[in-house]
Structure 1
Amino acid sequence: MRFSVGCEIGYDLQSQSTLIFNISAMQGGRQRILSERLTISPDLVADEKTAADSGNRFVRLTSDPGEVRLRYEAEVELAPLHNEPESVDEVPVAKLPLETLTFLNPSRYCPSDQLARFASRQFGNIAPGFGRVTEICNWINSEVDYLAGSSDTTTTAADTFAMRAGVCRDFAHLGITFCRALGIPARLVSCYAWQLEPQDFHAVFEAWLGDRWYLFDPTRMAALDGMVRIGCGRDAADTAFATIYGSVISQPIRVWSEALDGDTSAQWTTDAVSVTRS
């Protein structure tokens, strides 16, 4: 399917500031950018760089005080890969690809060492594989309330576990944390999400199973087949859509994702979906 995605972001700069954005769709694998355009107002010189390790695409600009606005728009084609869940196994740590090992470690928002005992007790007796990660998502969806404003930029998965409330990134962080505690590499993915209401940047996670990354969304709020990846990393610290050095006032953000073809009435809620770059 093809999707039209994009965003409009604005800031009132109170002093000279440097802004780093990660809002461009990723390129590669089963996600193909057909066209895209980035407009910056005023017409500032911007540095653009694609990270070799993650594929995240960064835009950096510096501006004097005043208003700065960005508009990103793209047409992206996704080719989802559907596998039978029972055929997708976990991989022993001894046989994991070396590049996935980073995603076994605790990170700023995913203190897997702190929740290891609970993860082992709650999920340790479930047969390893795709089904176990699905059960992790089921538990989060059942036991954690989706509550706007219940968390902030300091909230970790341990906080979400204690409060039993959060937003999409908190749900994803908790899923990542439980997976890592069980020896399953997991990473955060930011995306444009088709059928998400209201529209916003969305956070989900991927777990390494079999020979690839598989996508999971514990919120169950959007269509897995319609998630256009923006960035991936250990947690939200690696995937923020904007990182700001300076004094600014944020303006309202507009995000959109629209299906351009295919059966737009369908909503894939199954977790047996992978749209990978590998």
Structure 2
Amino acid sequence: MFIRIGFEIVLECKSETPLILALSPHPDYDGRVIGDDHVRSDSNLSMQEYIDDFGNRRTRLIAPPGPLTLWSDCIVENSGLPDVFDWNARQHSVPDLPPEVLGYLNASRYCESDELAERAWALFGHTPPGWARVQAICNWVHNHITFGYHFGRPTKTAVDVMREATGVCRDFAHLAITLCRAMNIPARYASGYLGDIDAPPMEIGDFSAWFEAFLEGRWFTFDARHNTPRIGRVLMVRGQDAADGAMITSFGTHHMKLFRVWTHEVSGADTDRDLLSLLETRPDAPAMTLAPEVSP
């Protein structure tokens, strides 16, 4: 299957402002890309792309004073298969974990697993270790946290989410990650594109956050927000938590004036030429309603 992915973001800065963006498909995404998946702008700006410590593609630039439009638009090939499900995946004992995943047991900026350890064991200590335990955590977070864009804020941590019982998709991910780590299950943050293929229609496009848990010698995708295997994920970033995969890191003040994201299944195109011709048309995606001023 083919999926058209992209975004359009308009920022306004009062003065020259260095930016670091995490808005490109991750190098580990294994689907073919048709078109250009780099971040582009409406100005002739110098942009540098590099790979960070988590393997994420980053783009750095200096935004000029005034409005700046950033965008990307391409088509990716996707298997069309839902997230892998393996109820028999085992949990490793801590001494048996590979060294490279041990860091994902630690508390981090948004995931205070040390503070929620007692609560986690009280809730899930009776569950069988392995997939069943991670799924029990997802079920609990999904059923106890109320989703709403107005509940999001950049300083909100897993402890806040647990206390307030509200959040956006990254808050669902942070709380599930925190509870997994408290139960000695390595877990890491992930985000990217996720449309509504074989799912209820979305009212508005947005990036989505989920998480990955290490079981049976590999990383598996889990999604406490939707809590069901989904089709068409396109990974952009991974990290300890959202601090390692911020969409925009701004070294100065900026205001977001427009934000829209599209993730649409493409049908009726048989060749790469057909697919490329679709990219010549403006994508159909409504803009998200923003507060008068949105700061980083």
TM-score range, shorter chain: 0.7 to 0.9
Paired position in structure 1 for 2:46: 45
Compare CA radii of gyration and give the structure with the larger one.
2
The answer for unaligned runs of 5 or more in structure 2 is: 197-201, 269-296
Letter paired with 1:130: W
Most deviating of 91-100 and 167-176: 91-100
CA distance in 2, matches of 1:173, 1:67: 32
Most deviating of 243-252 and 81-90: 81-90
Give the alignment's TM-score, normalised by structure 1: 0.88
Distance change (3 Å), C-alpha of 1:202 and 1:29: closer
Most deviating of 68-77 and 221-230: 221-230
**8 Å CA contact 1:89, 1:210 repeated in 2:** yes
- Shift, 1:197, TM fit: 4.0
- Shift, 1:213, TM fit: 1.0
CA distance in 1, matches of 2:233, 2:45: 30
Paired position in structure 2 for 1:18: 18
Distance change (3 Å), C-alpha of 1:28 and 1:247: closer
Paired position in structure 1 for 2:183: 182
Kindly report the root-mean-square deviation, in angstroms, between the aligned alpha carbons of the 2 structures.
Answer: 1.9
Listed as ranges, the matches of 1:56-135 within 5 Å are 56-79=56-79, 80=81, 85-135=86-136
Paired position in structure 2 for 1:201: 207
Letter paired with 1:142: N
CA distance in 1, matches of 2:168, 2:225: 8
Partner secondary structure for residue 138 of structure 2: helix
User: What is the aligned-residue identity percentage?
Assistant: 38
Distance change (3 Å), C-alpha of 1:10 and 1:183: same
User: Does residue 36 of structure 2 align to residue 36 of structure 1?
Assistant: yes
CA distance in 1, matches of 2:203, 2:124: 31
Partner secondary structure for residue 209 of structure 2: strand
Give the alignment's TM-score, normalised by structure 2: 0.83
Distance change (3 Å), C-alpha of 1:160 and 1:83: closer
CA distance in 1, matches of 2:191, 2:85: 25
Distance change (3 Å), C-alpha of 1:255 and 1:86: same
Letter paired with 2:134: V
Paired position in structure 2 for 1:274: none
- Shift, 1:45, TM fit: 0.4
Match of 1:253 among 251, 256, 259: 259
**8 Å CA contact 1:194, 1:222 repeated in 2:** no
Count of aligned pairs between the two proteins: 261
- Shift, 1:230, TM fit: 0.5
The answer for unaligned runs of 5 or more in structure 1 is: 263-278
**8 Å CA contact 1:215, 1:224 repeated in 2:** no
Distance change (3 Å), C-alpha of 1:132 and 1:31: farther
Letter paired with 2:99: L
Partner secondary structure for residue 198 of structure 1: coil
